[in-house]
């Protein structure tokens, strides 16, 4: 390599991912230098509290983020602090001072991609974020580079390990949501406050990032339709099994073409029935998978560990190496691509198949009245299952009806469900889930 100038790196945050990044930089220095074409040197690590027991030499630790980011010998800033603030301020400061940035902060990116991308463009530096979606799984780079000459039609996948673990446990053990969540917490898969995961906020942020890249359109988390998994029940899994399906929390981004040829972008997150024959149905535990469909490439699937210190650090370091190579060679990575500027499709116009479970009075004519409400709104029924139910004393307490529809718009289905709830014969509408991954 000769006497190439070292590339200085500052790491902001020393949690599970930050600790692994620091370890890799230190332990793999020789290999990294050979891959980059210059030495990679750790200049400092920003932490909330400087202490001697952090596993990093005390001389490298600082609680002054701004000072570390501003150092002249720092070329790349790796942001792994987590919250939107102060991460946003630190990243903008780094970019404005000509530092390339690597981040795994999906919440920030889903909220402020445009602002960050513009700052990187003005400074002619790199902004990389492979680790923001699906941990160790390479998804961002294939979309921005490998498929740059293709037209992406759809990106769908399981991008949250916590919810996938919970739903996998419910499917395999028959546990209810609360019990499965408790198991996930005990194993460290769920945060103390699991809201961001189980209500779909984390997956929605990732969907916004994927949709923005895939369809060359700025999509924010606020543009993503979102439902969580807290209302999914063991009865839903029993019904799904009878239909040859399981239930997964899916993030779906797709290009929608209207009847008059106009294109729109749809980004949505919700629990859905998935046929057992679909590749996403076999993704269990805390693993993630993303399926990309493109015009020329067809269907591509990316699968692996979607979270954890070491897997996420692997993606972070991939970005660090790319940014460092660009520094050495005088190049730049891909810029933000937003030329398409497609409008966001409202959820009401999105056509999907549905599973509707309800409890009704068990008497003649009820099924016909239920079917009539679907028919009034042109929601075609594909399949109906009915079974009697009893109370704790074994006394008949009505019947459970499960309806599976053909494709219908979300608006038509919502109107149908509201009408069903108003029927005297319907005791309750228990569950409404979408059915994805089928031809019709």
pLDDT tens sequence across 333-350: 989 999 999 999 999 999
Q: pLDDT class for 53, splitting at 50, 70, 90?
A: low
Distance CA 158, CA 176 (A): 20
- What sign has the CA pseudo-torsion 215, 217, 220, 222? negative
Could you tell me whether strands 396-405 and 381-390 are parallel, antiparallel, or unpaired per DSSP bridges? antiparallel
Distance CA 37, CA 217 (A): 35
- Using the predicted structure, report yes or no on whether residue 244 has a pLDDT greater than 70: yes
CA distances from 136 to 235, 281, 323, 416, 436 (A): 34, 20, 18, 42, 25
With a CB cutoff of 8 Å and minimum separation 6, the contacts of 27 are: none
Q: How far is CA 309 from the centre of its chain?
A: 17
Distance CA 76, CA 101 (A): 6
Distance CA 115, CA 128 (A): 14
pLDDT at 214: 97
13 is in an annotated binding site: yes
- Give the tens place of pLDDT for each residue, 4-30: 899 999 999 999 899 999 999 999 999
244 is in an annotated binding site: no
Q: pLDDT class for 393, splitting at 50, 70, 90?
A: confident
Residues 111/206, Cβ–Cβ less than 8 Å: no
Distance CA 125, CA 324 (A): 11
Q: At what angle do helices 161-173 and 234-242 cross, to 10 degrees?
A: 70
106 is in an annotated binding site: yes
pLDDT at 141: 93
CA geometry: angle at 33 spanning 31 and 39, to 5°? Answer: 145
Which residues participate in catalysis according to the annotation? 206
Q: What is the average pLDDT score of the chain?
A: 93
Distance CA 437, CA 281 (A): 10
17 is in an annotated binding site: yes
Distance CA 184, CA 194 (A): 10
12 is in an annotated binding site: yes
- Give the tens place of pLDDT for each residue, 159-172: 999 999 999 999 99
- Give the tens place of pLDDT for each residue, 182-195: 999 998 888 889 99
Q: How confident is the model over 417-439, as a mean pLDDT? A: 93
- Using the predicted structure, report yes or no on whether residue 391 has a pLDDT greater than 80: no
- Using the predicted structure, report yes or no on whether residue 2 has a pLDDT greater than 60: no
Distance CA 43, CA 61 (A): 9
Residues 7/75, Cβ–Cβ less than 8 Å: yes
143 is in an annotated binding site: no
Domains of the chain: 7-135+310-329 (3.40.50.720), 139-307 (3.30.360.10), 348-435 (3.30.70.260)
14 is in an annotated binding site: yes
Q: pLDDT class for 440, splitting at 50, 70, 90?
A: low
Could you check whether the bond before residue 231 is cis, i.e. omega within 30 degrees of 0?
no
With a CB cutoff of 8 Å and minimum separation 6, the contacts of 269 are: 200, 203, 204, 207, 224, 225, 226, 227, 249, 250, 251, 252
pLDDT at 82: 80
Residue recorded with tokens 């020789």? 30
Distance CA 333, CA 319 (A): 10
- Give the tens place of pLDDT for each residue, 80-129: 998 888 999 999 999 999 999 999 999 999 999 889 999 999 999 999 99
To the question of pTM greater than 0.85 for the whole model, the response is: yes
191 is in an annotated binding site: yes
């Amino acid at each position: 390599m000769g006497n190439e100038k070292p590339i200085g790196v500052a790491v902001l945050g020393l949690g599970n991912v930050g600790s692994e990044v620091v370890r890799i930089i230190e332990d793999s220095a020789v290999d990294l230098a050979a891959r980059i074409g210059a030495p990679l040197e750790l200049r400092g690590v920003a932490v909330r509290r400087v202490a001697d027991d952090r596993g990093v030499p005390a001389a490298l630790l600082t609680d002054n983020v701004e000072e570390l980011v501003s150092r002249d010998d720092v070329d790349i800033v790796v942001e792994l602090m987590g919250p939107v603030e102060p991460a946003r301020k630190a990243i903008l400061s780094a970019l404005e001072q000509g530092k390339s940035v690597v981040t795994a902060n999906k919440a920030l990116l889903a909220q402020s991609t445009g602002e960050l991308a513009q700052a990187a463009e003005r400074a002619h530096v790199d902004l990389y974020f492979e680790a923001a979606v699906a941990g160790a799984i390479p998804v961002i780079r294939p979309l921005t580079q490998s498929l740059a000459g293709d037209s992406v039609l759809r990106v769908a996948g399981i991008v949250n390990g916590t919810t996938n673990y919970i739903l996998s446990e419910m499917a395999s053990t028959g546990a209810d949501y609360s019990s499965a969540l408790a198991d996930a917490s005990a194993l460290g898969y769920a945060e103390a406050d699991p809201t961001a995961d189980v209500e779909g906020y984390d997956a929605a942020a990732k969907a916004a990032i994927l949709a923005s890249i895939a369809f060359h359109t700025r999509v924010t988390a606020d543009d993503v339709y979102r439902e969580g998994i807290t209302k999914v029940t063991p009865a839903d899994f029993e019904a799904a099994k009878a239909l040859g399906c399981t239930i997964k929390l899916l993030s779906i981004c797709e290009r929608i073409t209207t009847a008059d040829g106009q294109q729109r972008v749809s980004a949505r997150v919700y629990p859905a029935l998935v046929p057992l024959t679909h590749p996403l149905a076999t993704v269990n535990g805390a693993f993630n998978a993303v399926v990309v469909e493109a015009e020329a490439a067809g269907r591509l699937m990316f699968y692996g560990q979607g979270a954890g210190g070491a897997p996420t650090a692997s993606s972070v370091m991939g970005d660090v190496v790319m940014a460092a190579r660009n520094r050495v060679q005088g190049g730049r990575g891909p810029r933000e691509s937003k030329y398409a500027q497609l409008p966001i499709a409202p959820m009401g116009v999105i056509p999907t198949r549905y599973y509707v479970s309800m409890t009704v009075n068990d008497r003649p004519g009820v099924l016909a009245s239920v079917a009539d409400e679907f028919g009034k709104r042109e929601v075609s029924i594909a399949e109906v299952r009915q079974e009697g139910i009893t109370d704790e004393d074994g006394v008949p307490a009505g019947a459970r009806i499960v309806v599976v529809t053909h494709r219908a718009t979300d608006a038509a289905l919502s109107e149908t469900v509201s009408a069903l709830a108003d029927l005297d014969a319907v005791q309750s509408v228990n569950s409404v889930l979408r059915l994805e991954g089928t031809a019709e």
